[in-house]
Chain A
Amino acid sequence: MRSAGGQVFLWRAGVLVAGLALWEAVARPLNPVLYVAPSRLPAALARVLDVRELPALPGHVWLTVQEIAAAFALAVAAGLWLGFLLGLKPRVGRVYEPLLAALYAIPSVVWYPSLMLFFGLGPASKIAFGFLLGFFPIALAVLAGIRQVPAHLVTVAVSMGARPRTVFWKVALPAMSATLVGGLRAGLALSVVGVLVGEILGARSGLGYVINYAYGLLMTGEYVVLVVLVAAAVLLIDGLAALAEARVRRWAG
């Protein structure tokens, strides 16, 4: 008899194979420009790596990575700053947190044309958009995290003579760390999305630009390869973030 876990694993693999087979079966008889069957992807991958028609990939990938890093770093700095500013002063937080939540409810893409107008088509507008998307979940996670810190623990620590620094590192941070790290992970995912959206909506360089370029020239095989690679990279980044999140959760107990 097979174990339950093994059975689930087999089912998962089966779903993946069935999905690919279905994709192949649907795409094969249809227009090959629009419907790229998976069996054509290896050849397209070779063409992407060979780089004759497409812009050289490494430079564009490196630019996108830099944009994401800059956007996320800014989002972390600003999100932590504003989150702690509002969270540690409950009166201020009561006034401004609803405003922050209302801004978060607006579909983020409405800000992009204004950012494009202000920062131009270069990397700055992508960094600004990635920053804006990553900022909100981080700030809101800090606010939610601070609310989770049990007030009596802080009172006990202070009454036993702990200094504010000690209270922060030994009491507050462990209590709020799970929420905080969850917010950082969501912020990273959204910074990545923001940079990619910016590059696809209009850019002269970067990974999104190459994707758009391939699609614009109807090099759809290359386009699908690039999309699959980027999607895999995004999932990998989020997977690493999930591992970090699990470690922090263990540390906080």
Chain B
Amino acid sequence: MTAAGRPAGFLTVLALQALSVAVVVGAWEAAVRGGLADPLFIPAPSAVARALVATGAEALPRLADTLFKTLLGYALAAGLGIAAGLAIGSRRLVHQVAMPYVVALYGIPKILVLPWIALTFGIGLGTAVLTGALFALFPIVLMIAAAARDVDPTLITVARSMGATRWQMARKVLLPAVLPSALAGMRVGMVFALLGVLLAEMFAGIRGMGFMMQRMALAFRAPELFAATAIVSALSIAVVLGLQHLDRRLGRWR
């Protein structure tokens, strides 16, 4: 493909994507209107749009609430995860000893611990934030540990021979070297933190989008439920795209 052909190809792809989404939405609307789908379970897109306008005022503060908890949980997981990841990844013996446990903890469904967290920390901020942090922690630890292990050993040797302290080593050598994969891990961590917070809200009835969605499902308010799902989906796609953009800019800066 020629250089000139690439942007045009990109626009064509974008147009086809928009067209496909429009076709699906149109077919969906037609199916509901034509009586092929029961609007009690699958509301027409037009009904969802109306619900979006009607519940927007109620949903926005809840969305902000959920986002706030996600950021808290994420910050907690990132702080712990980066420290643990660097500690595990930068020493061979620690890596060998700790890795099976980290991988096992990563593999265990975190949902199993949710009842205990809810019982211990109550129906509030603590439970949601801790669940978000728990979901985000292990992917971050794994990514950082893998990145720290793969740091060019000559960098470390040179720094050590020049008399770098352990703290200097971590800050000046390891951290910049693991930054790219750290950012990728953080992106994954953010989605997991949001997942954990929504799950805690659904499970324990904590205010926020998760609780709102669960309540609407149980009340059979399908249009409002679909609208809330659309809002959360749009938010998380926006967050991921935003972090990807940040990645690319930091990559250029490096």
Residues in A lying within 8 Å of B, measured CB to CB = 7-8, 11-12, 15-16, 34, 94-96, 98-99, 102, 105-114, 116-118, 189, 192-193, 196-197, 200-201, 208, 211-212, 215, 218, 220, 223-224, 227, 230-231, 234-235, 238
Contacts and interface: CB of A to CB of B under 8 A. Distances in A.
Contacts of A110: 198, 213, 229, 232-233, 236
A151 B104 CA distance: 38
Contacts of A238: 107
Contacts of B41: 117-118
B198 A235 contact: no
B19 to A, nearest CB: 9
A95 B195 contact: no
A96 B24 CA distance: 13
Contact of B20 (A12, A34, A95, A107): A95
Instruction: Report whether over half of chain B's contact residues are helix, strand or loop; otherwise say mixed.
Output: helix
27 contacts: A8-B96, A11-B97, A12-B101, A15-B97, A94-B13, A99-B20, A102-B237, A109-B202, A110-B213, A110-B232, A113-B216, A113-B225, A113-B229, A114-B217, A116-B217, A117-B222, A192-B109, A193-B109, A196-B109, A196-B112, A197-B109, A200-B111, A208-B111, A211-B112, A220-B116, A220-B119, A230-B112
B109 A106 contact: no
A8 B93 contact: yes
Given A95-B17, A98-B17, A113-B229, 5 more contacts: A15-B101, A34-B119, A102-B237, A109-B195, A114-B229
Q: Contact residue range for chain B?
A: 35 or more
Nearest to A125: B217
A106 B237 contact: yes
A178 to B, nearest CB: 18
Contacts of A234: 107-109
Nearest to A227: B112
Nearest to B216: A113
B108 A107 contact: no
B49 interface: no
B133 interface: no
Given A95-B20, A111-B229, A15 B98 contact: yes
B122 to A, nearest CB: 11
A143 B157 CA distance: 41
A247 to B, nearest CB: 20
A118 B96 CA distance: 47
Contact of B111 (A12, A193, A223): A193
B240 interface: yes
A112 B209 CA distance: 13
Contact of A231 (B100, B108, B119, B240): B108
Contacts of B141: none
B199 A197 contact: yes
Top 10 nearest A-B pairs by Cβ distance? A113-B217, A107-B195, A215-B115, A11-B97, A113-B213, A105-B240, A231-B108, A117-B217, A95-B16, A227-B112
A11 B101 CA distance: 12
A34 B20 CA distance: 52
B97 A12 contact: yes
Contacts of A189: 107
Interface in B104-160: 104, 107-109, 111-116, 119-120
A107 B97 contact: no
A214 to B, nearest CB: 9
Contact of A235 (B21, B108, B113): B108
Nearest to A8: B96
Contacts of B226: 114
Nearest to A35: B120
Given A111-B229, A113-B229, A197-B109, A96 B20 contact: yes
A204 to B, nearest CB: 14
Contacts of A7: 93
Nearest to B235: A106
A32 to B, nearest CB: 13
Contact of B119 (A11, A109, A116, A215): A215
Interface string B180-214: 00000000000110110011001100000010011
Nearest to B199: A109
A212 B210 CA distance: 19
A34 B203 CA distance: 18
Interface string B226-244: 1001001100110010000
Contacts of B114: 200
Contacts of B100: 12
A218 B203 CA distance: 16
Most B CB within 10 A of own CB, among A107, A118, A196: A107
